[in-house]
Amino acid sequence: MNPSAPALFPMFVKLAGRRCVVVGGGPVAESKIESLLRTGAQVTVVSPALTDRLERMERQDLFGWARGRFEPSHLDGAYLVIAATSHDATNEAVYREADRRGILCNAVDEPRRCHFYFPAVVQRGALQVAISTAGLSPSLAQRLRKDLEAQFGPEYGEWLVWLGKVREALMARNVSFATRRRLLAHLASRESLEHWRESKRRQPELREAG
């Protein structure tokens, strides 16, 4: 382990219904706000102004807007906070207040002011592959993400849905644990994926023949 890289615990967090605060309303904040909204989080944006895109989203009531500069009270009831401003003093104030309250904080592109990092993510439906370099090289994380996007095509999302349905069916039939485990391991294999791909390719042909 590189002594300059912190030991991180990887996990996927459920944010639906939780209050998440983003301090900043500029271009840097946009992607963070959108990623939080996709999880169902209740997002509050603290900023004197918003980008045109964020203004349109705010008019659609996609998030709450606390118009003005950051105050410690903005973190009342927050589960996590993102500092996404271009002002060093503001980001420092957000981080210090979050740290004091035990609230998870991420200051964009400032590893020393982060309790957690945003990974580079490959998403195919419910499948998520997250990559972190512990803040040492975001560029490497992005390059690996592109490599994995080529490896895991869009069909993985649909295949995963199918795998989930098969698993539910086996659970409903009270198949023994050992048998179920063996079958599911086989179905999740690369050989099974290729067979599934071939069956999907043949479906139009079969419909035309019928």
Domain boundaries, the chain: 19-118, 155-209
pLDDT at 3: 53
Residue 55 pLDDT greater than 60, yes or no = yes
Q: Which pLDDT belongs to residue 16?
A: 97
Which residues, 6 or more positions from 170, have their beta carbon under 8 angstroms from its beta carbon? 180, 183, 184
The C-alpha R_g of the chain, in whole angstroms, comes to 22
Residue with tokens 């539910």: 168
Mean pLDDT for 137-142 is: 90
- Return the SS3 of 115: coil
- Match 């944010």 to its residue by tokens: 15
Per-residue confidence band for 208, with pLDDT thresholds at 50, 70 and 90: low
Domain at 19-118: CATH code: 3.40.50.720
Look at residues 129, 106, 139 and name the one whose alpha carbon lies nearest to residue 28: 106
Quick count: other Cβ atoms within 10 Å of Cβ 13?
Answer: 11
What is the average per-residue pLDDT within 108-136? 89
Q: Evaluate whether 131 touches 141 at the Cβ level (below 8 Å).
A: yes
Residues recorded for the chain: 210
Q: How much is the average pLDDT of 43-66? A: 97
Which amino acid, residue 198? E
Per cent of the chain over pLDDT 70 is 94
Give pLDDT, residue 207.
Answer: 54
Q: Provide the pLDDT for residue 206.
A: 47
pLDDT, one tens digit per residue, over 68-111 is 999 999 999 999 999 999 999 999 999 999 999 999 999 998 88
- pTM, whole model, 2 decimals? 0.80
As a dihedral over the C-alpha atoms of residue 179, residue 165, residue 120, residue 134, rounded to 10 degrees, the angle is -40
